[in-house]
Structure formats: C-alpha cells, structure tokens
Amino acid sequence: MSAFEYGSSATRGQRGYQEDSAALWPGSATFDWPQVLPQPAAGILVAVLADGMGGHAGGAQASQTVCRSFLEHLATSDNSDTHPAPAPERLRAALEAANASITKTVEANPRLDGMGSTLIGTTFGAEGLEWVSVGDSPLYLFRRGEIALLNEDHSLAPALDQLAASGEITAEQARTDPRRHMLRSAITGEELDLIDVSKIPLALEPGDAVILASDGIHTLDTDDVVRIVAAYLGDGPQAVADALVRSIENQKEPHQDNATIIVVYPTG
C-alpha cells in the first residue's frame, strides 16, 4: 500500500487544446493509456508531468510520449533489477528514454519535427522525494505555511530576474519581457542542455504537500498559491489541486495557458 495520497486537476485555459499530460504509478493518467504497468515496490508512488510544445497535435503527442516512455522505462528497470541503481541514476535513465522516444516519433513522422516537452519525474518512498526535471514546469514543497521551489527553472525568467535584482532592468521589464518563457532546455530528441536531478532524498513530514505543475500556474502569485494550499490543506490533495485550478480560471487571463497540477501528501 502506498504511503502517499494524491489528487490532480487540469484546465485548458484559453487554449483550444490541451498540451499538458500527467500520470501516476500506481494510479491513472490524463490521457488514454492501455499499457498496464507492473506494481511498484510497496510504499512507492511515481508522479510525472509534462508540458508539450508543438501545437495542437505535436504538443499533446510530445507530452504523452514523454510521460509514457518515462514511466515505462522506470517500471521496467525497477522490476527487472535485483540490485537497482540509485534513484538519481534510474530517474536520469528514464529521462533519457523519454528523450529518445521523441527522436523515434519524429523519425517516424517528420511532420512532427520541432515538437518537444518539459518534464518533472518524481518518486516518493520511505526516504522521501526524489526528482528529475527539464524545462520550466515547477516542483514545489509546501511546509508549515511556506512554499519553496525545489527544481531549477530552465526558462529565461531567472536570468531576467537577476538582471532586475542587479538594477540593469526594472522588475516590470523583467516580468513583461516576451522572452521570459523561452526555454533554455527541453526534451526535443536532441542532446539535453540542462537537467536538474535531486542529489539526496528530501524527507517529507506530516502536513507537507508536494505540487507538480505546468507553467500555467504562474498566473497565480506565489502568495496566492500559499494562501490557497493553506486554506484547503486539511481537505486533501484533490481539494488543493481543484482549488488551484479554479483560482487560475477565475483570474480570467485572456492568454491563459494550459495548467495541470498534481498534489501529493505523505500519509505516514
């Protein structure tokens, strides 16, 4: 039995299509997936979230392909190895498999050339949380009324914010710069420029909430996210995920991007 409970929610925003994908093992996926995976080791939960790029068909296919390949590789390696490699190595290998799956997809259908995806892949176990990520999809830890970004942001946003902090541009210029959401690294089938991998497990505590999200969550300020999570924390992870998505939709942002959120609680 898993020592974790989870909830997930999503919105297309103002897009006419959904390019985000998410899946949990054991659990379910946001897309049709007939593959039946073997059960993970007792007490283990794996959550993966991807934000695709490439338009209506390409983006959706990219994010689904990445999620499927990542989980399938992780499930196969976890169940075939008598002495499995450390989690960071297994996560990185699953990421490489996901990247290779994009290469194969484009080779089979050259019209999809240019498609890609971000990825957050996480494992939850007795020692805590471990992750691998590429792109700008954030991984948050909410603990005792505060929230922290756990993974690196591979967009241009950190560089622009640093320029603002040093006084070279204003905070408003950094916030509204059209290059802000350009990615410095993504899963495109090419060599991965930047990868963020946790070095040691992050021990989780009762009352913690771990949040995986696509960048559509950035419509909400960090203070708004903290307030919403704190307000719904006691109602369970599904209530938190639903409340965050509802708040994003209530902003009525005319260019709202897709937003997908997975919330995981430790139960032990």
pLDDT tens, N- to C-terminus, the chain (268 residues): 458 999 999 999 999 999 999 999 998 899 887 667 888 888 899 999 999 998 767 999 999 999 999 999 998 876 655 556 788 899 999 999 999 999 999 999 999 999 999 999 999 999 999 999 999 999 999 999 999 999 999 999 888 888 989 999 998 988 888 888 889 999 999 999 899 999 999 999 999 999 999 999 999 999 999 999 999 999 999 999 999 999 999 999 999 999 999 999 998 6
Say if residue 26 is preceded by a cis peptide, omega within 30 of 0.
yes
Any domain includes 174: no
pTM of the model: 0.92
Any domain includes 112: yes
pLDDT for 41: 81
Element (DSSP H or E) covering residue 100: helix 87-108
Any domain includes 207: yes
Any domain includes 209: yes
Q: What is the pLDDT of residues 105-163, one digit of tens each?
A: 999 999 999 999 999 999 999 999 999 999 999 999 999 999 999 999 999 988 888 89
> What is the domain-level CATH number for residue 63?
3.60.40.10
How far is Cα 216 from Cα 190, in angstroms, rounded to an integer? 25
How far is Cα 119 from Cα 187, in angstroms, rounded to an integer? 8
pLDDT for 6: 97
Any domain includes 49: yes
pLDDT for 181: 81
How far is Cα 265 from Cα 50, in angstroms, rounded to an integer? 20
Q: What is the count of structural domains for the chain?
A: 1
pLDDT for 13: 95
pLDDT for 186: 95
The boundaries of the domain holding residue 145 are 4-151+185-266
Any domain includes 162: no
Residue 143's Cβ-side half-sphere holds a number of Cα atoms within 13 Å equal to 12
In eight-state DSSP terms, residue 183 is B
Report yes or no: 253 and 247 within 8 Å, Cβ to Cβ.
no
Any domain includes 123: yes
Q: 198-237 burial by CB neighbour count: b if 16+ within 10 A, else e?
A: beebbebeeebbbbbbbbbbbbbeeeebbebbbebbeebb
